[in-house]
Amino acid sequence: AQKVTQAQTEISVVEKEDVTLDCVYETRDTTYYLFWYKQPPSGELVFLIRRNSFDEQNEISGRYSWNFQKSTSSFNFTITASQVVDSAVYFCALDDNQFYFGTGTSLTVIP
Amino acid sequence: NAGVTQTPKFQVLKTGQSMTLQCAQDMNHNSMYWYRQDPGMGLRLIYYSASEGTTDKGEVPNGYNVSRLNKREFSLRLESAAPSQTSVYFCASSETAYNEQFFGPGTRLTVL
pLDDT in tens, B24-60: 999 999 999 999 999 888 899 999 999 998 999 999 9
Q: What is the pLDDT of residue B48?
A: 96
Q: Which residues of B touch A (CB under 8 A)?
A: 33, 35, 40-45, 48, 58-59, 88, 90, 92, 97-103, 105-106
Q: What is the pLDDT of residue A1?
A: 61
Mutation for testing the A interface, residue in B4, B37, B109 having most A CBs under 10 Å: B37
What are the tens digits of pLDDT across the range A32-70?
999 999 999 999 999 999 999 998 888 888 999 999 999
Q: How many CB atoms lie within 10 A of CB B54?
A: 11
d(CA B16, CA B79): 8
Q: What is the pLDDT of residue A57?
A: 84
Among residues B87, B33, B105, the alpha carbon closest in space to that of A43 is found at B105
d(CA A11, CA B112): 34
CA distance B48 to chain A (A): 9
Mean pLDDT of the B78-105 span = 95
d(CA B75, CA B34): 9
d(CA A83, CA A87): 8
d(CA A77, CA A60): 10
d(CA B90, CA A1): 23
Mutation for testing the B interface, residue in A8, A45, A103 having most B CBs under 10 Å: A45
- pLDDT above 70 coverage of chain B, percent: 99
Mutation for testing the A interface, residue in B9, B23, B32, B43 having most A CBs under 10 Å: B43
Mean pLDDT of the A92-96 span = 94
Q: What is the pLDDT of residue B51?
A: 92
Buried-state track A35-58, b at ≥16 Cβ within 10 A, e below 16: bbbbbeeeeebebbbbbebeeeee
Among residues A94, A87, A107, A80, the alpha carbon closest in space to that of A23 is found at A94
Mean pLDDT of the B10-29 span = 97
Cβ–Cβ of A45/B103 closer than 8 Å?
yes
Show the CA angle centred on residue B87, arms to residues B84 and B90, nearest 5°.
135
Residues of chain A contacting B100 with CB distance shorter than 8 Å: 35, 47, 50
Residues of chain B contacting A92 with CB distance shorter than 8 Å: none
What are the tens digits of pLDDT across the range A5-42?
999 999 999 999 999 999 999 999 999 999 999 999 99
Q: Are A47 and B100 in contact (CB under 8 A)?
A: yes
d(CA B15, CA B26): 33
Q: Given pLDDT bands bounded at 50, 70 and 90, which one contains residue B92?
A: very high
